[in-house]
């Protein structure tokens, strides 16, 4: 089920955030995600944990071993890191673009390329309905 997230994007009037126009953004815009972007990242990382868990359950049943045990544990650690930044009193996401980049890119295995590619595809799919997500993956990857 695809969730439709709406947001105001800092980058609506920018064709692309590049080295030359990045400095025109405020410090908050350079480091913070909108609530819709943060929700998107959190949901994506949670979906990755669920997907890897399903793969491991199926492999345990069929092959008698876990294929992606290390990957799911690393992603789970990053999901917990993101959850630890949530503000329950205001129901807001407080993690930064750098923390989102950590959650998506900080893997030592070839899985980093896989999760980054999946995230970029998810952003592109979402951007088809909401152009505010068009630069989300690039902005997060640039922070890593």
Judge whether residue 21 has pLDDT over 80: no
Give every CB contact of residue 139 below 8 A, 6+ residues apart in sequence: 11, 17, 97
Please give the Cα distance from 130 to 134 (Å, whole number).
8
Q: Which among 119, 113, 110, 106 has a CA at the least distance from the CA of 42? A: 119
Judge whether residue 75 has pLDDT over 90: yes
Q: On the CB side of 40, how many CA atoms lie within 13 Å of its CA?
A: 28
- Structure tokens that stand for 52 in this block: 């890897």
- Structure tokens that stand for 83 in this block: 């959850």
Please give the Cα distance from 40 to 9 (Å, whole number).
13
- Structure tokens that stand for 85 in this block: 């930044």
What is the average pLDDT across 81-110?
A: 91
| pTM over 0.85, yes/no | no
Please give the Cα distance from 124 to 76 (Å, whole number).
24
Task: Give the pLDDT score at 46.
Answer: 96
How many beta carbons lie within 10 A of that of residue 69, not counting itself?
15
């Amino acid at each position: 089920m695809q969730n439709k997230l709406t947001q105001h994007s800092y980058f609506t009037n920018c064709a692309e955030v590049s080295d030359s126009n990045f400095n025109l953004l405020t410090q908050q815009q350079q480091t913070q995600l909108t609530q819709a972007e943060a929700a998107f990242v959190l949901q994506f990382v949670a979906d990755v944990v669920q997907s890897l868990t399903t793969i491991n359950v199926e492999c345990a049943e069929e092959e008698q071993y876990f294929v992606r045990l290390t990957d799911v544990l690393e992603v789970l650690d990053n999901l917990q890191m993101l959850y630890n930044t949530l503000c329950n009193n205001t129901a807001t996401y407080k993690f930064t673009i750098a923390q989102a980049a950590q959650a998506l890119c900080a893997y030592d295995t070839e899985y980093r390329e896989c999760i980054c590619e999946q995230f970029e595809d998810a952003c592109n799919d979402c951007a088809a309905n909401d152009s505010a997500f068009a630069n989300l993956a690039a902005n997060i990857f640039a922070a890593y």
